[in-house]
Structure 1
Amino acid sequence: MLSATRRLFPNKVDKRQSDQSLSSTLTLTGSLKAVASSAQQRIWLDEQISFNPSSSPALYNIIMPVVIKQGSMPIASIRSAIVDTLERHNILRTAVYFNQESGRLEQAVQPILEDHNYSFEVTRGAKSTEEIEALLVKEFTTHFAQVEHGVVVRCHLIKMDINNAVEEEEKLHRNDIIIFVIHHIAFDISAADIFINTFARTYHVAEPLGSTLQYIDYAIYEQTLLVDPAQNSKVNEARRFWSILMDRYDWHNNYLLLVGATSKTKMRSGRGHAISFDLDSDIVQAQLQCAMANNVSMFQLGLTCFFAFLYKLCNSYTDDFCITSATDNRQLPETKKMIGMFVNLLPYRIKINPVESFISLMLRIRQLCIDVLQHAELPYQEIIGHMNNSTSPKIPFHFQYQSVMSSLTYGSTQVLKTKDAILQSYTGRDWSHSNGTALNDLSLTMTHDYHNQTTHFIFEYSTDVFDDAMISLIGRRFQHFLSQIFSASVDKNQFNQSRNPISKLSLLLLEDIEEIPRTIFHRLPNIGYTAPASYAQSRICLDERIHSHYDQQFISIHNKPYIYRLQHQHSLSIDRLHQAVQQILIKHSTLHTSLIFHTEQNQFIQQIIDFNSNNNKLFFYFESTFQTDEQLNKIINDERHNPQHFDLVQGRVFRYHILYYKQASLNGFLSDKDVLIFSFHHAFFDNSSMNVFFHDLNEA
């Protein structure tokens, strides 16, 4: 049981908040058909709209593997116990479907039909841990559920040894494994123990069914709350809160935030990769000290780290960020003993002030978390529904906190007993991560082990949006970012960076810093004017030529715009900026270098174009005005995707664009409301180069 080893919802509504919220109790209705709950609707819609159902891997399978430690279990008895469990918990045989007549997503409990209400498989002769790991990952990513028919449970038995005795072949023995898989539309992690314990009890002895509350009763109750017309109702208070919190949030701005995001479509393949790392022990201790000293939870601290890092990662282009996180939403006492899908997704939105410290930001986020959880009952799709629309992108960033408790009370030592065998959780890596899937464009999972005093981070990312090299760099910068904030906290004699303005924190890695002294403001000797293009340049040029040839409406993916705003109440001379850019071009010949395909040599050749002879054509400088965020985003999108902005043959591989807010400058200075865009062609510039460019620009 996954829920026994990790607390996935540390950001729960506390008892005081629960007492003040939903005081009504659920009613046993006996209904077998009703409108789908809000949580069911969210899962169903996400599968249908955000991902391609025909080609995406399964993204909402929850697995619970258990191993037989002692004794044996007849397969027939296991199947009988599964059927009994499905009888007791109607949601495990409930169909969710769109009713064309009513125009609603509905649920209907299906009758028990022997062994046809669930998926079942037996694998015989598994021989190694690696083979079992592969089977577990496959269970996570393979579609088995027939949601519209109520098949949402699967049982996969793994027999480690093949026994020739016929009677023994129909039993599981020591070290054999039972994998339960349940679709998220009917189940959440908080219900894992309830399911396993019900299975163990019904295996032991048949229990009378009786009349008990079912998930459909909760769905009916929830709908009653959502249509409550009283202005002072809890749900209407939540609506007012979320309307204020999300007011004027720019839903179209998200994909412009991270350098390296390349996808042009909103539908995702569902495929992804992950990178992970552990923090040094001194950083972990500093985090704990910081959390205790400021009376914040580790969830709130981790969320603050993610917000601040995203702000720095996008070069401070925007100060307005939104990150989603999940809450179990089991506020009613009755729901804590119920199998079903209750999890709600909550958007955390905050505007970052670059002059405030990390500590100040963290305290604001602490209050944000308190406010958000007090209004957690409003469904996610309604939260974004008033401000969003069906064509708007999904919030790309997600944060999850997991706390691993002491092994004395949680984890792999949990044992279940049946009349025939002793079962225990099958332990291994966390199969819910690093399984080749991605629900979000970029998600960060922070796992803190209170017993061993360790903290583990996992970045999961969509391969539709990021490549491995980009995320590897992001991961390294995040590690450096954390060490920069927390390393000084341990030593009282050092300056504590967590109290320094966020704008002063840096993402520069050691190799970036070492590169800066090696650059000087004159042409280095012995640099040739003509040479074969590098492998990376050839790859990019070939890719661009192929796409432009076959696609009449070719959209460039190799434009690399970097967007900047001045700090609050700062200004910048436009003339000095022009002079500095000229100095950059003199120093870095790569910014006035052409790329031409040499037919005789059958390769791309790069050639430096003399700066003095072609000064006015090496790059373009533009000025524009904007009044709304929509106009600004349109200009930025053009900078990112217009293939006409650069000409590799002519050596025009750099341009910069000044965007004045409302009107052009009257005094020759940029203000903190204006925007400055430096754009490069990727054949001559990568993300790491920006650190050198920006340093040299400051020097110039």
Structure 2
Amino acid sequence: RQHCQSHLPPHMIPSFFIILDKLPLNQNGKIDRKLLPLPSFLSMHLTNHDELLLPKNETEIIIHHIWCDLLKQTQILTNTNIFSIGGHSIIIMQLFHQYKIEFHLETNALSISNLFQHPTIIHHAQLIQQSINTTHTLNDYPWSSLHLTQARASFAQERIYLDEQIRFSSNKTTMNNMYVIPLLYRISSMNGHISITRLHHAFQSVITKHNILRTALYIDDTNGTIIQHSLDAHIILNDDMKSCGLTIINVHNDDYRHMNEIIGEILNQSDLFDLSKGHVINCHILRHCGCSQDDISCENDDLLSENDHVLIGVHHAMFDGASTSIFIRDLSLAYQSDDSLFLDENTLNYIDYSVHEHIMDISLSREFWHSQLESYNMACSLSLPVDRQRSSTGQRSGLASSAQITFDDETCASFLNYASSHHLTLFQLGLSVFHVFLFKLTHGQTDLCISSINANRYRNELVNMIGMFVSTLPYRVELDPHCSFDEVVEYVQEKCLSILEHSHYPLQHILRDLHLTQSNVSFLETMFDFISMQKDIGHLSLNDADLEQVSLEQSVEMSKFDFSLTFVYNPSSDHNQLSCSFVCSHDLFEKSAVSKAARRFQYMSEQLFQTQSSNISVMNVSSSISKLSLIVPEEAEEMELVVFHRLDNIANEGMIVCSLSHCFIKVVVS
């Protein structure tokens, strides 16, 4: 530790150390990270110095207990930076709300941004001591079950339901299920066997436990309100596998369709869901049969084999990304026990959350969002160089033009180091890069407003609940063309921190306050997201059988937005941990144009995050963002050859204009 302290800044010093005799290697002689022992405070030997950093007063003890509970630790030193032990923005949000309940704080007595900027137990205790107040507010009381079966839909459900009905319901839409969340798993190894009947019972058990997976959505004809109705499990589920949406598909040797094509056809079935009847989840078992379609020998086989696939589809109105690990955990438990999962009638359900959400006091957030957007020109769209104009009706086909980027290890390390050294979340840094890219791509447009999503599980009661909590929020950034990338990052971080405290405010309210509707808002057409992969959703265990998650290919990719960028960070990967994908509407962009946009984005990112050893011209992050270039090296080389070497009558003067698809050169003839 002393050696690290003499060479590293405080935020980069490890919280603890594990001494190994040797590092585990894989067959190629490289370090096998998967075999490295997981850090555990139980195995740590506390020095005298460390013992002084254990909780010393009642406030620190309470905070320490909350941290250990959220981060699944047994001991945390009071000077440990929460981001160095797995903390992130959602954890900070949960801490914020739990502090308010535990210490009886007023709504505005504690600032989320202060919790971010002072991320240790000691500092949090000091902030809370300054904010102690015994007054309860409406947001502070514990949420409990209301024992309801019918209530108004949540704001997130309303948003998705209406979007599906308005933008993706015409004959132009070629994708039937724009809001399907597909989970595809392949049986990778098995010491025993997987029984389809047992999997069916486990699937039923999960649906029975989580009311949201048997909830209907429909419009109340009397007042036009969207209603959610939790249906009785005994009525909609029976011994028939199809009653809970489980279907077996035998893939024969003479079926020449590619697996992705089969999956694409399944996900595009017009009857995949029926929200009005509560059919919101289904499971397709893709079983490989070593026979022809005329042979029925495998039709009655109850067992699955290696390389068979399990495809689970859930409607997004009932399920978000964070729900995946909860669903997989319960499916595994139900299969292992071969019995019903424990049901607690007093457990908070999603329908209860919806009711509490509608009665929360959100007056402060209304003022915040009004101040954020009151001067923004809502009629002004980003000047993206499209190949085609959008339909005047606003209807979409849902087809996507996409491109993927995988960053090399050097760029990834530089990206992560920048985030660490500037106390940033990866989301904040990625969002900063995207805003700078849009500034360059739109030829200097400075008032940039795009959308991003927030997990919105801001209370402890919501952490282990399946449902749709994600909120869509506008991120407006007003750039100065002369500011540096460092300054942009600092500005975007402050923006993100201020938004976090008001992220529960529904998009519908934001639009209503501005006299807008969901179908005519420009900032909803450009989307950003940053996904950090979790180990538990990439693996499903059914007794002695292991199933690994399989990424879906572009053949089943759909586009809900005009222009979207998604970063993916996979810390468990040995190489290429950072990647991103552009998914754009094919109604507006050709695939070649999106591919070139992705290449320009990659080149700009390499200018920001490559090291000096790279042959790419590295930009000083303290220099003006205007100096960044979107002209990729091969284009620059071609222009140099054409303009300055092949044509003798052209003076050394020119202007280059860069778009998604082309670089135009204006030359002066001497």
Q: TM-score, normalised by structure 2?
A: 0.70
Identify the match of residue 401 of structure 1 among 520, 530, 534: 530
User: CA separation of 1:76/1:97 partners in 2, compared to 1, >3 Å: closer, same or farther?
Assistant: same
Paired residues of 2:611 and 2:618 also in contact (CA < 8 A): yes
Q: How does 1:622-637 map to 2 (within 5 A)?
A: none
Paired residues of 1:512 and 1:688 also in contact (CA < 8 A): no
Residue-by-residue CA offset, 1:135-168 (whole Å, 9 max, x unaligned): 3344444441101111001111122226866795
C-alpha deviation, 1:275, in angstroms: 0.7
> Is 1:82 aligned with 2:203?
yes
User: Aligned partners of 2:566 and 2:202: how far apart in 1?
Assistant: 35
SS in 2 for 1:156: strand
Identify the match of residue 343 of structure 1 among 432, 453, 470: 470
Segments of structure 2 that go 5 or more residues without pairing to the other structure are: 1-86, 101-106, 108-138
User: CA separation of 1:330/1:434 partners in 2, compared to 1, >3 Å: closer, same or farther?
Assistant: farther
AA matched with 1:25: P
AA matched with 1:426: E
Residue-by-residue CA offset, 1:596-628 (whole Å, 9 max, x unaligned): xxxxxxxxxxxxxxxxxxxxxxxxxxxxxxxxx
AA matched with 2:158: Q
Could you say which residue in structure 2 is the equivalent of 1:640? none
Residue-by-residue CA offset, 1:452-501 (whole Å, 9 max, x unaligned): 35321211111011112221221121122112222356689997432211
> Is 1:98 aligned with 2:176?
no
AA matched with 1:121: T
Could you say which residue in structure 1 is the equivalent of 2:541? 416
Could you say which residue in structure 2 is the equivalent of 1:118? 244
Could you say which residue in structure 2 is the equivalent of 1:655? none
C-alpha deviation, 1:445, in angstroms: 1.3
Could you say which residue in structure 2 is the equivalent of 1:185? 317
> Is 1:497 aligned with 2:620?
yes
Paired residues of 1:67 and 1:177 also in contact (CA < 8 A): yes
Paired residues of 2:597 and 2:660 also in contact (CA < 8 A): no
User: CA separation of 1:179/1:519 partners in 2, compared to 1, >3 Å: closer, same or farther?
Assistant: closer
User: Aligned partners of 2:158 and 2:479: how far apart in 1?
Assistant: 33
Could you say which residue in structure 1 is the equivalent of 2:353? 218
Paired residues of 1:124 and 1:162 also in contact (CA < 8 A): no
AA matched with 1:277: I
SS in 2 for 1:354: coil
Question: 89-98 or 284-293: which moved more?
Answer: 284-293
Identify the match of residue 152 of structure 1 among 253, 268, 280: 280
SS in 2 for 1:447: strand
Q: How does 1:233-382 map to 2 (within 5 A)?
A: 233=361, 235-254=362-381, 256-258=383-385, 260=387, 262-265=389-392, 266-316=394-444, 318-382=445-509
Residue-by-residue CA offset, 1:631-684 (whole Å, 9 max, x unaligned): xxxxxxxxxxxxxxxxxxxxxxxxxxxxxxxxxxxxxxxxxxxxxxx99xxxxx
User: CA separation of 1:36/1:252 partners in 2, compared to 1, >3 Å: closer, same or farther?
Assistant: same
Identify the match of residue 172 of structure 1 among 304, 319, 339: 304
C-alpha deviation, 1:289, in angstroms: 2.5
Could you say which residue in structure 1 is the equivalent of 2:165? 48
AA matched with 1:371: S
User: Aligned partners of 1:259 and 1:493: how far apart in 2?
Assistant: 28
Could you say which residue in structure 2 is the equivalent of 1:519? 643
User: Aligned partners of 1:167 and 1:51: how far apart in 2?
Assistant: 37
C-alpha deviation, 1:307, in angstroms: 0.4
Q: TM-score, normalised by structure 1?
A: 0.67
Q: How does 1:652-663 map to 2 (within 5 A)?
A: none
User: Aligned partners of 1:277 and 1:172: how far apart in 2?
Assistant: 35
Question: 455-464 or 391-400: which moved more?
Answer: 391-400
Segments of structure 1 that go 5 or more residues without pairing to the other structure are: 1-8, 226-232, 526-579, 589-677, 680-684
Could you say which residue in structure 1 is the equivalent of 2:156? 39
Identify the match of residue 65 of structure 1 among 175, 184, 190: 184
C-alpha deviation, 1:42, in angstroms: 1.0
Paired residues of 2:385 and 2:659 also in contact (CA < 8 A): no
Paired residues of 1:67 and 1:176 also in contact (CA < 8 A): yes
**Identity fraction in percent:** 25
Residue-by-residue CA offset, 1:539-578 (whole Å, 9 max, x unaligned): xxxxxxxxxxxxxxxxxxxxxxxxxxxxxxxxxxxxxxxx
AA matched with 2:526: F
What is the Cα-based RMSD across aligned positions, in Å?
A: 3.5
SS in 1 for 2:498: helix
AA matched with 1:149: K
User: Aligned partners of 1:201 and 1:284: how far apart in 2?
Assistant: 36
User: Aligned partners of 2:561 and 2:594: how far apart in 1?
Assistant: 14
User: CA separation of 1:366/1:44 partners in 2, compared to 1, >3 Å: closer, same or farther?
Assistant: same
Paired residues of 2:211 and 2:230 also in contact (CA < 8 A): yes
> For the pair shown, which has the larger CA radius of gyration, 1 or 2?
1
SS in 2 for 1:323: strand
C-alpha deviation, 1:516, in angstroms: 4.7
AA matched with 2:143: L
Question: 83-92 or 458-467: which moved more?
Answer: 83-92
AA matched with 2:603: H
User: CA separation of 1:172/1:356 partners in 2, compared to 1, >3 Å: closer, same or farther?
Assistant: same
Paired positions, count: 520
User: Aligned partners of 1:298 and 1:490: how far apart in 2?
Assistant: 24
Could you say which residue in structure 1 is the equivalent of 2:131? none
Could you say which residue in structure 2 is the equivalent of 1:560? none
